Amino acid sequence: MTAPAAAPSIETAATTSRPVGTSRLHTSEPRWPTAQPPLDPSARSLVVVAGASSGAQASSATWIAAAQAQGLTVELVASEPGAVGAALAAATAGTRLVVAGDEATIARTLAAAIGAGLVATEVRAHLTDPDGPRTVQCVHCKAITETTAPVDGECACAGCDRPLLIFPHYSRRIGAYLGFRIDSEELPA
């Protein structure tokens, strides 16, 4: 006879800082690998984006060496969206994108890749700096803020200076978490 399944845990306002019923397992939060993924064996060329940290530089050097050993064309690109978008606009079929760095670097790069029409199977990401900055978009002024505050933490908006709660909702298209004013429900009408 099979033992009965354990009852699911119930979250209350006292046990979580998230709105009741919001599970971190069922959010849009990205889960980028902290172990370097291998190159796509079907790649014909490679666009490499690396953050500034030594971990990101080492990861990109490993990818570049592997790609060159396979005879692939390699292009190293700055992590700015315009540079990534331009490199991908000039790319041919079979080009793959790899990015290593903190959450903010990966987010900017993947948003540019989505804008250029790449699909998930054409991109590999390596989170080398899990404690580095992440991006948050303010719902009030639409400004993007980089912060090292954790998800469910607080930061000040770079645009309107409102105190924001970093909600565990992530937009891959924008490359940012949702941020909204912490005390908006307590403000006078």
10-residue mean pLDDT profile of the chain (189 residues): values are 41 41 65 94 96 95 97 94 93 96 95 93 96 96 97 96 94 94 76
* Cβ atoms of 152 and 29 closer than 8 Å: no
pTM attached to this predicted model? 0.81
What is the DSSP-derived secondary structure letter of residue 120? G
C-alpha distances in Å from residue 85, one per residue of 47, 114, 139, 142, 156? 11, 9, 25, 21, 29
Identify the pLDDT of residue 9. 34
Work out the number of other CB atoms within 10 angstroms of the CB of residue 125: 24
pLDDT of residue 28: 82
Query: What local confidence, expressed as pLDDT, does residue 189 receive?
Result: 65
Report residue 40 CA to chain centroid gap. 20
172: tokens are 């891959």
Q: Which two tokens stand for residue 66?
A: 């592997």
Place of tokens 């064996």: 41
Q: What domains sit in the chain, N to C, each tagged with a CATH number?
A: 45-129 (3.40.50.2300), 133-184 (no CATH)
State the DSSP H helix or E strand holding residue 180, giving kind and residue range, or none if neither. Answer: strand 176-181
Any residues with CB less than 8 A from the CB of 122 and at least 6 apart, and which?
40, 95, 96, 97, 113
CA distance 75 to 30: 26
pLDDT of residue 20: 45
- Distance, in Å, from the CA atom of 42 to the CA atom of 75, rounded to the nearest integer, reads 17
Strand extents, DSSP E, 86-162: 95-102, 123-129, 134-138, 144-147, 154-156
Cβ partners under 8 Å of residue 9, min gap 6: none
The pLDDT of residue 183 is 81
pLDDT of residue 39: 96
